[in-house]
Amino acid sequence: MKLAMLPFKLHQDRLFPSDATQRAIARQLYAQVAGLPIISPHGHTDPAWFADNAPFANATELLLVPDHYVFRMLYSQGISLDTLGIPRRDGSRASVDPRAAWRVFAQNFHLFRGTPSYMWLNHVFHDVFGLRIRLEGRTADMYYDHITAALGRPEFRPRALFERFRIEVLATTESPIDSLQHHAAIRASGWSGRVITAYRPDLVIDPEHEQFPSALQTFGEITGEDVYDWRGYLRAHRKRRAFFAENGATSTDHGHPTAATANLSAAEAGKLFDRIVRGKGSTDDAELFRAQMLTEMAAMSLEDGLVMQLHPGCFRNHNRGLFERYGRDRGADLPLRTDYVHALKPLLDRFGNEPNFKLILFTLDESTYSRELAPMAGHYPALYLGPAWWFHDAPEGMWRFREWTLSSAGFYNTVGFNDDTRAFLSIPARHDVARRVDCAFLAKLVAEHRLDEDEAAELAVELAYNLPKRAYKL
Amino acid sequence: MKLAMLPFKLHQDRLFPSDATQRAIARQLYAQVAGLPIISPHGHTDPAWFADNAPFANATELLLVPDHYVFRMLYSQGISLDTLGIPRRDGSRASVDPRAAWRVFAQNFHLFRGTPSYMWLNHVFHDVFGLRIRLEGRTADMYYDHITAALGRPEFRPRALFERFRIEVLATTESPIDSLQHHAAIRASGWSGRVITAYRPDLVIDPEHEQFPSALQTFGEITGEDVYDWRGYLRAHRKRRAFFAENGATSTDHGHPTAATANLSAAEAGKLFDRIVRGKGSTDDAELFRAQMLTEMAAMSLEDGLVMQLHPGCFRNHNRGLFERYGRDRGADLPLRTDYVHALKPLLDRFGNEPNFKLILFTLDESTYSRELAPMAGHYPALYLGPAWWFHDAPEGMWRFREWTLSSAGFYNTVGFNDDTRAFLSIPARHDVARRVDCAFLAKLVAEHRLDEDEAAELAVELAYNLPKRAYKL
Amino acid sequence: MKLAMLPFKLHQDRLFPSDATQRAIARQLYAQVAGLPIISPHGHTDPAWFADNAPFANATELLLVPDHYVFRMLYSQGISLDTLGIPRRDGSRASVDPRAAWRVFAQNFHLFRGTPSYMWLNHVFHDVFGLRIRLEGRTADMYYDHITAALGRPEFRPRALFERFRIEVLATTESPIDSLQHHAAIRASGWSGRVITAYRPDLVIDPEHEQFPSALQTFGEITGEDVYDWRGYLRAHRKRRAFFAENGATSTDHGHPTAATANLSAAEAGKLFDRIVRGKGSTDDAELFRAQMLTEMAAMSLEDGLVMQLHPGCFRNHNRGLFERYGRDRGADLPLRTDYVHALKPLLDRFGNEPNFKLILFTLDESTYSRELAPMAGHYPALYLGPAWWFHDAPEGMWRFREWTLSSAGFYNTVGFNDDTRAFLSIPARHDVARRVDCAFLAKLVAEHRLDEDEAAELAVELAYNLPKRAYKL
């Protein structure tokens, strides 16, 4: 007997508590925020999409190949990256029919049950593409054809989706040596979508990045500064930050292995920089240099008003064999235990009490929420807490974030949601999950008589819309 | 249109689950403990209040200025401590009208939504002062006038409130060089309120405390011992402990940066002490001395029966600029990752199996609950777990404490609630929150058929009343 | 008035949420898994029980004396191990009437309220022995007599219970120098019960184990290899692994203080081994040798297909006085903070991408669930997550395991339940708790519309039955 294909739907009450009291409150709260425009102050979409407005290629290239959340799970269960057509480090790719790769994905879609990818993908299938049959091996081709056909239509071009998604502002992330040509093209095009950049200088700050030497050279060329001289190097940063701000940037972002900061004298910093650029720096020097540069970036933020973001605590490219064959960003990054209390003190000793400086902290180490981050954000005027990040950007993780930061940081020292994604089509899904989880969390507080409904309603709007706008100066 | 001022009330079911089954059980359990007298075995109220029984000054001086939970949150959102009239390190204060400070607080009261301070303060407003309109900017003056007027009436004097609050016993905390004159005055007055002291010797044990040299000198004068000699120093402790016990103390308390203990020979300890008192001690010596002194205090506890408390893992005065201007206890203390398994071994090797020795452990690092503290308390006869402390003394934190310690430590290796507060008026609110959360936790166990109702009822009374009395020998 | 003795029962809905929606779903899911055979791939029962099929002695010897979960809790409340008749290190025992020991246990049974032992024991009393009156001081003798009498009957012999419990396969754990005579006897007996062994080589791998020298000597004698030579030592392992596999083993198990692995050259490893066997090894050498041996064991697993298990992060015999008097396994083992990301890299650099190699990871440090273990298992093909272990094998711990690993590892990188017990009679109770908690967890996902019911039903069977069979190749 051949089984019928299974219908699926997005339940209107998904992620709300099943307790009737709480669900009723959550529904009311959600009704007030469901339709608010999306503020996306931190993410990794490609600005070329919005500059060129070219159609996306097919289901596999759009949804599978670029999403390391997806292929890492498949890989963990023994499916090779070549089977999925993931590009190799040298730019080559196994000769894979995208439809065949999609079939493998579909046959293994059950592996994602309960994960955020499952929710995001189903949301995309349902709401963006109007699919109403569950993805599985038997429906793989139907999905592939349906999605690929849709992508050829005008209403699935990037700008049309941007508008359909009601995105008020979308930040991308570029390195200092990026020309920002796509952002310029977007503005020149007359299209009204607000796509801004963010200054992400890791490439010219981390001496251990394999592209550091070449990036530094380009940094000098593009700015006309002597970037092998400490003062010239700082001037180059100032120039590029100003250029980024002209292109809409309101923030910088820093992805460091640790949260270490330093507060060296100008003379010490200059000597350290000399060792670094002459290739004489030790591993400790590299760490100290990154640490000092966070403090330098903070100093510049005080000057130019860019909000600073710190995303520390990741062991990149942990899988040696995979890195050698497939390169970076292949799902082999792992969280590390992270210290903030000691690490941030040098920076905070200088700028922690500045009311006009904002440093938004993220973590991959949830044990720091109640022990370090919330107590710090609940005291220092400069500190704010970014939302649950990366491995923790799931309903359970979002709930833990609120539950563990509320008592010491409250709601107002947090900054709303970041989707932090390169999966453009999933942006509405991700914001919807965040809004639903926050409404569910608030509903519990109301149902347990810790907040009145009017207070929760106000907070729901703050978390979904106002806090990110204020925090990121949007 | 001018909005009406908003009524507020304390809901009778606050903090109970909204699930009808659990709520009904929680209500029944709570009914049995709501009226029990308050046992407050650890706190920081000022014994002079009860000795002098003078009226409190006004709303700001009573509720805002002394409460670093409150002003740290305001500070984190950019409100200066001078605006609030917080005293500076040199004893001076900005010239601030207390009413103006109160207005700033009232205008920003929404920042506390969801935090324990919000619950405690609303409980005080509602139950102690009978207010029924929500605090906000528009009601600031009404609150200020109402509270300040009430404080002038006899029934708001400290002793009257003590009795109204049904406090059976209240412990304060004093250093060894305190004269305990207020405790003596209370007893001499004939008033029946039981206000006892606790022996908190950090000032004469921590060589890194800025008052250590002067405190040590006073310690010698007050005891008539040569406190610069190791044996004399220990004798001085014994004398003061005995004096504290005469003044009602049943416990000692130790607030150390880490939980490190040591077990040096008398000769080694003597040499270490010599280096310390001659000012020749290193940072490591200071840590080792504190560690050794915990073991010495345990040895004395075995002699005199005082219950020992350890509150480790706090980075005091993290904010350098704030410390320089405003001094200690200004909301800039931060939790640290804390080890107990290795740190306590030297002390436990000596005294861990003593059935007549009690060491009550607290933590600011919740990751130790299930990993270290509960397994330790569920084995060592000497060890007990203090309740969720400081940053974790919130409904969420209390729930985590129970959820993470239950399986390895059970209920009977815990000691009930500590309010640990200098905010006298909030004591009933804090105990009420603890009783409600424990009843809610027990209700879940009953509703999920892990305990019978009679077992939960017995446990509710144990947690609210019997366990702290037994643990602290009250 | 003498109180009536209290009835007790196992509620059919125990451990299910009280929310009506979730409970109904949980019931349906549980109905599908409640009767599935028990897969017990990791445990510590004595194979002699099933070889000899002799009756158990009495209630105390069966349920109290071997169970350190039970006597550690009693000990923590001041009851001496001699009172309970726990054997001493020298093999002697205090002269204790087992009935008297049972009475002490019964009088203190309330100490276990809320703990997993309370559930497991009550399940055994109720379902295995048919008792319907609560255990307490007044019912101690009744219990003792009832249980002891039952144990004399044929249906309470080990093999009869094995069949009654519907155990499909039960793994014990033996050291390489064990003759496996009981497993041979079981097979030779013609009894159909499947009792297999697992290869646990700690004794001949850990140079710091007090039996290491004598075990190594036996290891040489039993294998006919020169185990004081690096190559001979490795050959000896290969031989014994093959012998264990012949006796049904499908896995190895490793209980190390840390998760450290190493990847030395053969020459380096040989030199290290020389230092170790000549007694010249330092503490660091011992750690490095254990680390290297994990990688060697992984290499052999690739050859012979045995699944590898790693149980790291325990400080054994923390209580010095207790160890000196009573020896190992007396409830004085404590969890340690554990690192996996750095520790496992050497092994993973060699074998992490091997689809035919399986390494199942356990932890006593729950802070690693979401930070390290789930992200690792959600990427590396070789890695799987073992269930909540030891101190965390409780409903709360199982729930945390699911809640913290789901988003990054999903369900399919986990391996179902391990009872890990020497308390044979509690095996059905433990599996039942695990099945109930998993069904409750799935019910929440269904009730919040994150899974459809058919998906949850499939997952419930996977978690209870299929995943452990596949993971352990049973």
CA neighbours closer than 13 Å in the CB half-sphere of residue A139: 17
- Of all residues in chain B, the one with the smallest CA distance to A379 is B76
Contact between residue A225 and residue A233 where contact means Cβ atoms under 8 Å apart: yes
- Whether the CB of B279 is below 8 Å from some CB of chain A: the reply is no
Strand duo A383-385 + B38-40: pairing: unpaired
Spell out which residues of chain A touch residue C370, defining contact as CB-CB under 8 Å. Answer: 335, 366, 391-392, 397
User: For residue range B151-185, what is the model confidence (pLDDT) as tens digits?
Assistant: 999 999 999 999 999 999 999 999 999 999 999 99
* Rounded Cα–Cα distance for residues C54 and C88 (Å): 25
Confidence of residue B1 (pLDDT cuts 50, 70, 90): very low
pLDDT tens for A76-123 read 999 999 999 999 999 998 889 999 999 999 999 999 999 999 999 999
Structure tokens at C48: 């002699």
Which residue in the set C8, C322, C334 is minimally distant from B353, CB to CB?
C322
In chain A, the N- to C-terminal Cα span, in Å, equals 58
User: Is A269 part of the contact surface with chain B (CB cutoff 8 Å)?
Assistant: no
Give the number of other Cβ atoms within 10 Å of residue C303's Cβ: 10
Residue B133: which region, alpha, beta or left (left: phi > 0; alpha: psi -120 to 50)?
beta
Q: What is the mean pLDDT of residues C374-388?
A: 98
CA distance B356 to chain A (A): 33
Residue C190: CA count within 13 A, CB half-sphere? 0
* Amino acid at the residue C51: A
Residue intervals of chain B classified under CATH 1.10.2020.10 are: 55-156
Angle of the B427-447 helix axis to the B453-461 helix axis, nearest 10: 160
Alpha-carbon span B236 to C223, nearest angstrom: 66
* Assigned token pair, C418: 């391990």
Residues of B in contact with C395 (CB under 8 A): 407, 450
Helix (H) or strand (E) holding A432: helix A427-447
CA distance B105 to B103: 5
Q: Please indicate whether, in this complex, the C-beta atoms of C408 and A115 are within 8 angstroms of each other.
A: yes
Choose, out of C23, C67, C76, C122, the residue to mutate when testing the contact with B (most B CBs < 10 Å).
Answer: C76
pLDDT tens figures, C194-242? 999 999 999 999 999 989 999 999 999 999 999 999 999 999 999 999 9
Domain with CATH 1.10.2020.10 in chain C: 56-156
pLDDT at B368 over 50: yes
Q: Are B139 and B145 in contact (CB under 8 A)?
A: no
Looking at beta carbons, which residues of chain C come within 8 Å of A76? 377-381, 383, 409, 413
- State how beta strands B167-171 and A359-361 pair: unpaired
Of B341, B370, B407, the CB nearest to C115: B407
Query: Which residues on chain B are in Cβ contact (under 8 Å) with C30?
Result: none
DSSP state of C391: G
Contact between chains at A322 and C353 (C-beta distance less than 8 A): yes
CB contact under 8 A, B114 and A22: no
Rounded Cα distance, B466 and B462, in Å: 5
Residue A6 contacts C where some CB pair is shorter than 8 Å: yes
Predicted local distance difference test score (pLDDT) of residue B4: 73
Phi-psi label, residue C331: left if phi above 0, alpha if psi -120 to 50, beta otherwise: left
Residue of B94 and A234 predicted with greater confidence: A234
For the cut 50, the answer to whether the pLDDT of residue B122 exceeds it is yes
Q: Measured between CB atoms, does B371 come within 8 Å of chain C?
A: yes
- Enumerate the CATH 3.20.20.140 domain ranges in chain C, comma separated: 20-55+157-471
Pick B76's closest partner by Cβ from A378, A450, A455. A378
Which architecture does CATH list for B20-53+157-471? Alpha-Beta Barrel (3.20)
Average pLDDT over residues B391-402: 98
Residue type (1 letter), A311: H
What is the C-alpha separation between C209 and C327, in angstroms, rounded?
A: 13
Domain C56-156 = CATH 1.10.2020.10: yes
pLDDT of residue B2: 55
- How close, in Å, is residue A258 to chain C by CA atoms? 15
Query: Which of the four pLDDT bands, split at 50, 70 and 90, describes residue C1?
Result: very low
Smallest CA-to-CA distance from B72 within B333, B254, B430 is with B333
Taking the C-alpha atoms of residue B66 and residue C329, their distance in angstroms, rounded to an integer, is 50
**Is C15 in Cβ contact with B411 (below 8 Å)?**
no
Using the beta-carbon criterion (under 8 Å), do B332 and A367 form an inter-chain contact? no
Please give the pLDDT value at position C2: 55
The residue count of chain C comes to 474
Q: What angle do CA C265, C204, C420 make, to 5 degrees?
A: 110
Which residues of chain C neighbour B346 with C-beta distances below 8 Å? none
Residue A265, min C-alpha distance to chain B (Å): 18
The CA distances from residue B417 to A20, A336, B430, B459, in Å, are 32, 34, 9, 13
Question: Which helix (H) or strand (E) segment is C254 a member of?
Answer: strand C251-254
For C442-467, how does the pLDDT look when each residue is reduced to its tens digit (9 = 90+)? 999 999 999 999 999 999 999 999 99
Residues 373-412 on A with a CB inside 8 Å of B are 374-381, 383, 403-404, 406-412
Residue B109 CA to residue B435 CA, distance in Å, equals: 25
Chain B residues in contact with A21 (beta carbon < 8 A): 18
Number of B:C CB contacts under 8 A? 125
Question: Which residues from C are below 8 Å from B383, CB to CB?
Answer: 76
| Helical packing angle, A98-107 and A140-151, nearest 10° | 130
Q: Which residues of C399-424 are buried (b: 16+ CB within 10 A; e: fewer)?
A: bbbbbbbbbbbbbbbbbbbbbbbbbb
- DSSP bridge partners of C199: C174, C252
Q: Cα B177 to the chain's mean position, in Å?
A: 20
**Quick one: pLDDT band at residue C397, thresholds 50, 70, 90?**
very high
Tens digits of residue pLDDT in C120-137: 999 999 999 999 999 999
Question: pLDDT of C251-283, one tens digit each?
Answer: 999 999 999 999 999 999 999 999 999 999 999
Question: Are the Cβ atoms of C341 and A335 closer than 8 angstroms?
Answer: yes
Q: Establish if C370 touches chain A: CB-CB under 8 angstroms.
A: yes
Min Cα–Cα distance to chain B from A47, Å: 34
Q: Which of residues 105-134 of C touch B (CB under 8 A)?
A: 110-116, 118-119
Q: Which residue of C has its CA nearest to B375?
A: C334
Architecture, CATH, for domain A20-55+157-471: Alpha-Beta Barrel (3.20)
Optimal mutation site among A72, A76, A122, interface C, most CBs of chain C within 10 A: A76
* Residue ranges in chain A modelled with pLDDT below 70: 1-3
Instruction: Tell me which chain C residue has its CA closest to the CA of residue A116.
Output: C407
pLDDT (tens digit per residue) in A176-227: 999 999 999 999 999 999 999 999 999 999 999 989 999 999 999 999 999 9
Contacts of C320 in chain B (CB under 8 A): 349
CB-CB under 8 Å, B379 with C321: no
Dihedral Cα C205, C207, C209, C212, nearest 10 deg: 70
Contact C320 B349 (CB under 8 A): yes
All chains having 3 or more CB pairs closer than 8 angstroms to chain B? A, C
Q: How far is CA A390 from CA A308, A365, A416, in A?
A: 18, 11, 15
| Cross-chain CB nearest to B407 (options C318, C367, C391) | C391
Cβ-based contacts of B451 with chain C (< 8 Å) = 113-114
Class in CATH terms, B55-156: mainly alpha
Nearest residue of chain C to residue B381 (CA atoms): C76
Burial call A119-155: b when 16+ CB within 10 Å, e when fewer = bbbbbbbebbbebebbbbebbbeebbebbbebbeeee
Instruction: Output the CA angle A342-A347-A349, nearest 5 degrees.
Output: 85
Return the structure tokens found at C323.
């160890």
In this complex, the residue of A375, A445, A449 whose CB is nearest that of residue B391 is: A375
The verdict on a CB contact (< 8 Å) between C15 and B449 is yes
Q: How many CB atoms lie within 10 A of CB C317?
A: 17
Backbone angles phi, psi at B382, to 5 degrees: -80, -20
Interchain CB distance below 8 Å, C392 and B375: no
Interface residue C291 vs chain A (CB under 8 A): no
> Which chain A residue shows the shortest CA-CA distance from B117?
A407
* Contact B432/A at CB under 8 A: no
Q: Provide the 3-class DSSP secondary structure of residue A382.
A: coil
In chain C, which residues have their Cβ closer than 8 Å to the Cβ of B450?
Answer: 14-15, 114, 118-119, 395
- CATH 3.20.20.140 range(s) for chain B read 20-53+157-471
- The three-state secondary structure class of C443 is helix
Look at A115 and C407 and tell me if their CB atoms are within 8 Å.
yes
Integer Cα distance of B446 and B456 in angstroms: 7
CA distance C300 to C290: 15
Both structure tokens of C227:
């185990």
**Is B448–C17 a contact, with Cβ atoms under 8 angstroms apart?**
yes
| Torsions phi, psi for C15 (to 5 deg) | 70, 0
